[in-house]
């Protein structure tokens, strides 16, 4: 992808505006409390009657951490009390057992992911217990993708053995930045050696895929300091690298006020950090998948994009399209058919629902026909970087150019800037257009203008 080795700052500057990440369409701010536990239970039963043998993807949310990272945008809780974690695991297992009774017994799990918080904050025996609890209740398909998010701080070889012996084959390590000044500013002190050691353990134990997470736009980052971080990450040779744009949203995440705005890189510097990242990783041989993700050319993620089988869900890009996502734990979001359902984000409410043998659903959404159509268009553009109009017309019984006439007008500036090509048959995102794929997808979003009017809810796209 030679053109990505030289990124134009003017284009990044022009399209740097608030917008969704499209891990769902409509985005999560469209969810409503009118869709509650009764609606969710009914939807599960409908889904399993309609798709009794379809694959399953399971997500488990472990919210606990040892310390607060000031940049964090996740639903997390700091605790040092083992009994707090024990109580959560008891309710989590109870939720899994409850929902399992409504799922067709022959459905197989092809994907399992533990996120957080910090799943590796569990003790090794707790890892084995929870993984065993899930395995006893769900049959797994052949060669499932089983991944977990890991914090190298506090990690031991026993943790890694517990994950590997429990069937995990993919790990994602949070790094964010190797620079000590940046680490101190965000309250995440993580020496390089412990990250390197965690990766060595993963390779020795036979994990088949290693991802490293970075963030650009953190306080005190400079081009020189982040270039050194990128060089060190490349030397670690992970299979995938995710480089996220720091979403500074103190009105949504009050703890981010612990980061002083004047310590953040200036907008121009932040754009240059993105330019540096894309050029450096592209020159190192990583494929820019889109939306912050890079992978080696032989990685399953890159292959899925080439074969047009890539998919997006609440964990980001996925290779297991067609699987219905059932999510467990506080704040977890399930996604299947035309349904999104999110659990309570507060422990008290989550516990109360589970204790009453009810789903912990706080919010949800049932897609309309128009939503389903637009979700398909946005999904395929963000995954394939192109869209065949005839495929959409055949699938949904519409005339593409007529139905999306309003979007066509909005897309003109992307065509003029060389970010998109539109022919009679296709929409084709150019290599440079991948940098602003969120902006291109926004042209097809029927909910966006209303959500942007109501309140500031989205991070900037660049």
> What is the DSSP annotation of 301-325?
HHHHHHTT--EEETTEEES-TTPEE
Determine if residue 428 is left, alpha or beta; phi over 0 gives left, psi from -120 to 50 gives alpha, anything else beta.
Answer: beta
> Is 329 strand, coil or helix?
coil
pTM over 0.85: yes
pLDDT score, position 7? 66
- Residue 36 is given by DSSP the state -
**Alpha-carbon span 310 to 384, nearest angstrom:** 7
Strands 386-388 and 426-429, how do they pair? antiparallel
**Alpha-carbon span 79 to 74, nearest angstrom:** 15
pLDDT score, position 6? 59
Strands 361-366 and 339-343, how do they pair? antiparallel
User: What burial letters (b/e) apply to 246-272, b meaning 16+ CB within 10 Å?
Assistant: bbbbeeeeebbeebeeeebbeeeebbb
Structure tokens at 329: 């734990």
Asked if 42 contacts 462 with a C-beta cutoff of 8 angstroms, the reply is no
**Alpha-carbon span 103 to 330, nearest angstrom:** 20
**Alpha-carbon span 445 to 448, nearest angstrom:** 6
> Is 62 strand, coil or helix?
strand
pLDDT tens for the chain, residues 1 to 462 = 445 555 677 777 888 888 888 989 999 889 999 999 999 999 999 999 999 999 999 999 999 999 999 999 899 999 999 999 999 999 999 999 999 999 999 999 999 999 999 999 999 999 999 999 999 999 999 999 999 999 999 999 999 999 999 999 999 999 999 999 999 999 999 999 999 999 999 999 999 999 999 999 999 999 999 999 999 999 999 999 999 999 888 988 999 999 999 999 998 899 899 989 999 999 999 999 988 899 999 999 999 999 989 988 887 788 877 899 999 999 999 999 999 999 999 999 999 999 999 999 999 999 999 999 999 999 999 999 999 999 999 999 999 999 999 999 999 999 999 999 999 999 999 988 988 999 999 999 999 988 887 766 676 767
**Alpha-carbon span 292 to 290, nearest angstrom:** 6
**Alpha-carbon span 88 to 10, nearest angstrom:** 48
For residue 138, the tally of other CB atoms under 10 A from its CB is 19
pLDDT score, position 5? 54
Query: How many whole angstroms from its chain centre is CA 55?
Result: 20
Asked if 286 contacts 241 with a C-beta cutoff of 8 angstroms, the reply is yes
Structure tokens at 361: 């659903």
Asked if 196 contacts 236 with a C-beta cutoff of 8 angstroms, the reply is yes
Structure tokens at 134: 């899930």
pLDDT score, position 2? 42
**Alpha-carbon span 19 to 85, nearest angstrom:** 35
**Alpha-carbon span 21 to 112, nearest angstrom:** 22
Domains annotated on the chain, with CATH: 1-26+368-462 (1.10.10.920), 29-327 (3.20.20.70)
**Alpha-carbon span 5 to 431, nearest angstrom:** 10
């Amino acid at each position: 992808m030679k053109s990505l080795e030289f990124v134009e700052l003017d284009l990044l500057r022009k399209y740097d505006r608030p917008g969704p990440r499209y891990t769902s369409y409509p985005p999560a701010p469209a969810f409503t409390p009118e869709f509650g536990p009764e609606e969710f239970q009914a939807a599960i039963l409908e889904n399993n009657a309609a798709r009794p043998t379809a694959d399953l993807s399971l997500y488990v949310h472990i919210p606990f951490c040892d310390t607060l990272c000031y940049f964090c945008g996740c639903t997390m809780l700091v605790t040092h009390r083992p009994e707090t974690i024990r109580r959560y695991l008891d309710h989590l297992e109870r939720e899994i057992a409850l929902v399992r009774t409504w799922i067709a017994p022959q459905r197989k799990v092809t994907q399992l992911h533990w996120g957080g918080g910090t799943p590796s904050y569990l003790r090794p025996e707790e890892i084995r217990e929870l993984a065993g609890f899930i395995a006893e209740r769900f049959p797994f398909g052949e060669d499932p993708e089983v991944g977990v998010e890991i914090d190298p701080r506090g990690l031991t070889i026993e943790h890694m053995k517990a994950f590997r012996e429990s069937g995990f084959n993919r790990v994602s390590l949070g790094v964010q930045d190797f620079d000590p000044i940046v680490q101190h500013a965000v309250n995440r002190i993580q020496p390089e050696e412990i990250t390197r050691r965690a990766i060595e353990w993963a390779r020795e134990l036979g994990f088949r895929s290693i991802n490293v997470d970075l963030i650009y736009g953190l306080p005190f980052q400079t081009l020189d300091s982040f270039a050194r971080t990128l060089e060190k990450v490349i030397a670690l040779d992970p299979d995938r690298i995710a480089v996220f744009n720091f979403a500074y949203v103190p009105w949504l995440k009050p703890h981010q006020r612990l980061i002083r705005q004047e310590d953040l890189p200036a907008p121009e510097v932040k754009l240059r950090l993105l330019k540096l990242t894309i050029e450096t990783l592209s020159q190192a041989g990583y494929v820019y998948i889109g939306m912050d993700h890079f992978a080696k050319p032989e990685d399953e993620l890159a292959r899925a994009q080439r074969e047009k089988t890539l998919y997006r869900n609440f964990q980001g890009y996925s290779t297991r399209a067609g699987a219905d996502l059932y999510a467990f734990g506080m704040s977890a979001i399930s996604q299947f058919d035309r349904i999104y359902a999110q659990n309570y984000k507060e422990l008290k409410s989550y516990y109360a629902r589970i204790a009453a043998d009810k789903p912990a659903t706080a919010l949800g959404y049932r897609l309309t026909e128009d939503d389903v159509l637009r979700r398909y268009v946005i999904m395929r553009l963000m995954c394939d970087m192109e869209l065949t109009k005839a495929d959409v017309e055949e699938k949904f019984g519409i005339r593409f150019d007529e139905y999306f006439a309003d979007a066509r007008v909005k897309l003109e500036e992307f065509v003029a800037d060389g970010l998109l090509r539109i022919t009679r048959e296709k929409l084709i995102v150019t290599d440079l257009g991948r940098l602003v794929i969120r902006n291109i997808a926004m042209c097809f979003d029927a909910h966006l203008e209303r959500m942007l009017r109501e309140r500031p809810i989205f991070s900037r796209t660049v």
